[in-house]
Amino acid sequence: MTASETPVVYLDHAATTPMAPAAVEAMTTHLLEVGNASSLHASGRRARRVVEESRETIAQALDCRPGEVVFTSGGTEADNLAVKGVYWSRRAEDPRRVRILATSVEHHAVLDPLQWLEAREGAKVELLPVDEAGRLDVHALEQAIAREPESVALVSVMWANNEVGALQPVADVVRLAGEHGIPVHTDAVQAVGTVPVSFAGSGVDALSLTGHKVGGPYGVGALVARRELPVTALVHGGGQERDIRSGTIDAPAIAGFAAAVELAVKEQASYAAQVGALRDELVRGVLSVVPDAFLNGPPAGAERLPGNAHFSFPGCEGDSLLMLLDARGIECSTGSACSAGVPQPSHVLLAMGRTDAQARSSLRFSLGHTSTRADVDALVEAIGPCVERARLASR
């Protein structure tokens, strides 16, 4: 069997997961239809009906009002719209509101807009510490708010960490911020469909999600934002999406997105049980073959995403280990980023107290709705020889 014929064992569902057949069907049904949802003629009205029915479907799945669903091009745009849009609006209301509080383990879709606001818009960003499992230090948040609550424009805390799977104490964040009327945004890209997510029940003011992490298409997502929350637009034009996100609406993609969200939320409990059991088998198998590997993040259980297993392999470079596994048809991801061709240690692991070497020796295996026991067995069979070769290369 040639390399091109090697069966792929896909263990990178946290990066993107295959489209669900229901989402493919919903999307393709409308691909050949013509009609701009902003047009007043029959074709336009038909496209608008697709969009609004999809909005209602997503609202029902996420326990929010349809008017609170603002369609975007994905999670990154939703995060940018929340962080920048809320900051600008809050500061316009009161110039003292220049502080933004977030965790030190946020996705770059939140961290980079924060850095931009700090460099160009006068924001004062405070990245709060996390514990060794990657969970927010709630006491640090409480102290940061209490120091000068009237100056806080926004608190942004992700629902679940994309690298180590740590579920964040969103309820505590909402409680502390709510005591001072401070809005809370949460990046729930990794959470929707994998753990229970209720917008109304959580008490957050804004929530980001994206299609391709829940079995929907690329290039579509949403910011769920309370109607009462002022949000300044990033993109100006035709005034679509409550006048805070202009642009011609992609009705076919939104239909696929809605079908995926509906299915993922409906099957969340059974998904979590099935994928969680596979993940536990994967963890046991990897640790039996590589006993000195270290599982990063919370223990498998209620405080961790069911499909996430993130390891450090002492003596290995994560990039080398990834490529060795890839050559055997096993696809995963490394926690490091690459800047100008030079691997950089994961900011998440560094915030958790890991050393540079530990951070660079890490791999994330993430399972999803197409994962099987055969995938886990293939990884367990391959990981020992690949670690051995990666260690020899490092020496």
Q: Tell me: domain 21-266, CATH 3.20.20.70, correct?
A: no
Tens of pLDDT along 352-374? 999 999 999 999 999 999 999 99
Tens of pLDDT along 279-336? 999 999 999 999 999 999 999 788 999 999 999 999 999 999 999 999 999 999 986 5
Confidence of residue 44 (pLDDT cuts 50, 70, 90): very high
Question: What is residue 2's predicted lDDT score, i.e. its pLDDT?
Answer: 46
pLDDT tops 80 at residue 180: yes
CB 188 within 8 A of CB 209: yes
Question: What is residue 393's predicted lDDT score, i.e. its pLDDT?
Answer: 84
**CATH for 3-19+268-394 (3.90.1150.10, 3.40.50.300, 3.40.50.10860, 1.20.120.530):** 3.90.1150.10
Question: What is residue 337's predicted lDDT score, i.e. its pLDDT?
Answer: 53
100: which 2 tokens?
């933004």
Average pLDDT over residues 122-140: 98
Q: Where are the domains of the chain?
A: 3-19+268-394, 21-266
118: which 2 tokens?
């700090």
Confidence of residue 344 (pLDDT cuts 50, 70, 90): confident
Question: What is residue 153's predicted lDDT score, i.e. its pLDDT?
Answer: 98
Q: Which of these is catalytic: 64, 316, 332, 338?
A: 338
Confidence of residue 1 (pLDDT cuts 50, 70, 90): very low
Reference 331, options 290, 386, 284, 291; nearest CA is 386
Average pLDDT over residues 370-385: 98
Question: What is residue 338's predicted lDDT score, i.e. its pLDDT?
Answer: 47
CB 20 within 8 A of CB 271: no
Using CA atoms, how far residue 330 sits from 46, 49, 192, 204, in Å, is 44, 42, 26, 38
Average pLDDT over residues 246-254: 96
Question: What is residue 343's predicted lDDT score, i.e. its pLDDT?
Answer: 67
Of residues 299 and 140, the one with the higher pLDDT is 140
Let me know if 386 is a catalytic residue. Answer: no
